[in-house]
């Protein structure tokens, strides 16, 4: 976060996402410690998203919900990452205070070739949007995947179709060209 604080103005509106583990979420006092570190870095809480990996089993959803609600109340956003890869997806959607659902690339991969995969992804998008959540598709690599996801109501995307992972200098160049 300290590096992101030093980004030039052209990158000043970008959000930063940090992954939290199930162990982080279950640790007493974690929210206060996390927010203190964010504040010490100088990075604005309002530009920070915490991501919970769906495959990381959260044992106590009530504790996790309280912690995530505290982070949201402090200005952070919350995403469930790798949605559709574990067995707890629906319980997480029902119980956790979320802003985003990130559909895993394993579900996105074959949507342009498999009607069954399209139905599963469309169902996930519809369910998330019905809950008032923004949907991010991970692993978008082809124009046809993008077209199907867009038509299905997905509004945010990640993947090689847009860019490979880049360092700060390349990111700045990409943003300045837009």
**What are 11-55's pLDDT values in tens digits?**
888 999 999 988 898 888 999 999 999 999 999 999 999 999 866
Q: What distance in Å separates the CA atoms of residue 122 and residue 58, rounded to the nearest whole number?
A: 26
Number of H helices, E strands in the chain: 9, 6
Number of domains in the chain: 1
At residue 52's C-alpha, the angle toward residues 46 and 55, to 5°, is: 165
Whether residue 69 is predicted with pLDDT greater than 80 in this model: the reply is: yes
pTM for the whole structure? 0.90
pLDDT band at residue 70 under the 50/70/90 scheme: very high
Q: Which two tokens stand for residue 142?
A: 């082809």
Looking at the chain, the whole-number percentage of residues with pLDDT higher than 90 is: 65
Q: CB–CB of 77/50 below 8 Å?
A: yes
pLDDT band at residue 88 under the 50/70/90 scheme: low
Pairing of strands 16-20, 100-103: unpaired
Q: Which two tokens stand for residue 40?
A: 């010490």
Q: What distance in Å separates the CA atoms of residue 15 and residue 77, rounded to the nearest whole number?
A: 10
Print the domain residue range for 11. 2-177
At residue 86's C-alpha, the angle toward residues 120 and 115, to 5°, is: 15
**Domain CATH number, residue 165:** 3.20.20.450
Pairing of strands 100-103, 134-137: parallel
- The region that residue 28 occupies, defined by phi over 0 for left and psi between -120 and 50 for alpha, beta otherwise, is beta
Q: Which two tokens stand for residue 96?
A: 């956790």
Looking at the chain, the whole-number percentage of residues with pLDDT higher than 70 is: 97
Each residue's pLDDT tens digit, 101-126 = 999 999 999 999 999 999 999 999 99
């Amino acid at each position: 976060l300290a590096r992101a604080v030093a980004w030039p103005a052209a990158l000043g509106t970008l959000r930063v996402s940090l992954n939290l583990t199930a162990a982080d979420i279950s640790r007493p006092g974690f929210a206060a410690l996390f927010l203190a570190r964010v504040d010490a870095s100088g990075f604005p809480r309002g530009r920070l998203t915490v991501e919970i990996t769906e495959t990381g089993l959260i044992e106590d959803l009530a504790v996790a919900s309280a912690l995530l609600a505290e982070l949201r109340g402090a200005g952070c956003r919350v995403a469930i990452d790798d949605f559709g890869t574990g067995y707890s997806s629906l319980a997480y959607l029902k119980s956790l205070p979320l802003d985003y659902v990130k559909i895993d690339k394993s579900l996105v991969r074959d949507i342009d070739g498999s009607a069954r995969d399209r139905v599963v992804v469309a169902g996930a998008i519809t369910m998330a949007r019905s809950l008032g959540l923004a949907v991010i598709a991970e692993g978008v690599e082809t124009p046809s995947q993008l077209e199907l996801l867009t038509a299905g109501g997905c509004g945010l995307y990640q993947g090689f179709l847009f860019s490979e992972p880049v360092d700060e200098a390349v990111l700045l160049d990409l943003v300045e060209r837009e």
